[in-house]
């Protein structure tokens, strides 16, 4: 295992950091009306190229999400390749105190994917609640997003954000000691929807909390509502929570939701069930009865 991976594993399952005095201060979600209070920020658009070209704010920079998504799952450009991600993030003009404000087409999952990657490498980032539909006609909210793009000297700090990363081997070794939040659909959880996987079902001990249940009319629910949802799903505050889905986006949104709810030890199995299912030694439960 590479040195970076060993260090990351040690950090992932070590002692949990102390709870912040104000858990809500780490909220990764920003409401559109709060944007003017941020000061200068870098505005990142995570929509499809055609949608971006058709209409986008002058200050917006498109994140090449299709490239980022593929890179995260490739051995050569995975999250262990720190120089690759330093360059990719620097190209967005992020570095120093400038924070990123990320939005997508309103699904929230792709913005969450980019937010997860940015925060994992130590870039300060926020997700616009409601995405593009929430800010499309409100250009006055974006006045503090600079239009000039300057490539910054970004220095990655893996694991510096509020949500850390878990890989398959680490999770497999500690299945009994974690709380698993499965953000997929009920059919995926039950094993009746395989998507593109050779096997279906869910990880032992996983709790089902579909990502759609975290949203209300295209917006991530309020912290109190999210705390109630996570608690009812059997996820206790104080213990570390690992989120996963099938390919990363919904896992990232669920991780953001857990942080917003005040959980202070959250990790994401970013490669998720699609990665787990490829390893026949990794157990799966096929059960049509959801929890």
Fold annotation for 163-276: Oxidized Rhodanese; domain 1 (3.40.250)
Structure tokens at 151: 């490539």
Q: Does residue 148 have a pLDDT over 80?
A: no
Closest by alpha carbon to 126, among 39, 44, 221?
Answer: 44
3-class secondary structure per residue, the chain: CCHHHHHHHHHHCCCCCCCCCCHHHHCCEECHHHHHHHCCEEEEECCCHHHHHHCCCCCCEECCHHHHHHHHCCCCCCCCCHHHHHHHHHCCCCCCCCEEEEECCCCCHHHHHHHHHHHHCCCCEEEECCCHHHHCCCHHHHCCCCCCCCCCCCCCCCCCCCEEECCHHHHHHCHHHCEEEECCCHHHHHCCCCCCCCCCCECCCCEECCHHHHEECCEECCHHHHHHHHHHCCCCCCCCEEEECCCCHHHHHHHHHHHHCCCCCEEECCCHHHHHCCCCCCCCECCCCCC
pLDDT the model gives residue 23: 38
Mean pLDDT of all residues in the chain?
A: 90
pLDDT the model gives residue 4: 33
pLDDT the model gives residue 48: 98
Top-tier CATH class for 29-142: alpha beta
> For 111-127, how does the pLDDT look when each residue is reduced to its tens digit (9 = 90+)?
999 999 999 999 999 99
The answer to whether domain 29-142 and domain 163-276 are alike in fold is yes
Domain boundaries along the sequence of the chain: 29-142, 163-276
**Predicted confidence band of residue 251 (pLDDT cuts 50, 70, 90):** very high
pLDDT the model gives residue 289: 56
**Beta strand 215-216 with 219-220: parallel, antiparallel or unpaired?**
antiparallel
Number of neighbours of residue 175 by Cβ within 10 angstroms: 15
Q: Does residue 82 have a pLDDT over 50?
A: yes
Q: Does residue 22 have a pLDDT over 50?
A: no
User: Worst-scoring range by mean pLDDT, 89-98, 168-177, 239-248, 253-262?
Assistant: 89-98
Higher pLDDT, 59 or 11: 59
């Amino acid at each position: 295992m590479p040195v970076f991976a060993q260090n990351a594993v040690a950090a992932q399952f070590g002692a949990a950091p102390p709870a912040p005095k104000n858990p809500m201060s780490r909220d990764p979600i920003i409401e559109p009306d709060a944007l003017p209070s941020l000061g200068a920020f870098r505005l990142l658009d995570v929509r499809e190229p055609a949608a971006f070209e058709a209409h986008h704010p002058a200050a917006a920079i498109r994140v090449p999400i299709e490239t980022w998504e593929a890179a995260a799952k490739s051995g050569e450009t995975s999250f262990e390749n720190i120089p690759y991600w330093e360059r990719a993030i620097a190209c967005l003009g992020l570095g120093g105190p400038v924070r990123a404000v990320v939005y997508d087409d309103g699904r929230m999952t792709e913005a969450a994917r980019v937010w997860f990657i940015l925060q994992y490498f130590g870039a300060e980032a926020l997700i616009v609640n409601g995405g593009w539909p929430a800010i499309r006609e409100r250009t006055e909210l974006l006045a503090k997003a600079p239009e000039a793009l300057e490539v910054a000297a970004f220095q990655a700090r893996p694991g510096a954000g509020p949500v850390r990363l878990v890989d398959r081997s680490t999770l497999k070794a500690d299945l009994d000691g974690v709380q698993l939040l499965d953000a997929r659909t009920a059919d995926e959880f039950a094993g009746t929807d395989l998507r593109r996987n050779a096997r279906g079902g869910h990880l032992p001990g996983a709790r089902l909390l579909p990502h759609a249940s975290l949203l209300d009319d295209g917006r991530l629910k309020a912290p109190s509502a999210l705390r109630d949802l996570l608690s009812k799903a059997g996820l206790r505050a104080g213990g570390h929570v690992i989120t996963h889905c099938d390919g990363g986006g919904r896992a990232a949104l669920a991780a953001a939701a857990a942080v917003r709810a005040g959980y202070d030890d959250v990790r994401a199995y970013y490669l998720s069930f699609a990665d787990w299912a490829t390893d026949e030694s990794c157990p799966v439960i096929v059960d049509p009865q959801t929890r």
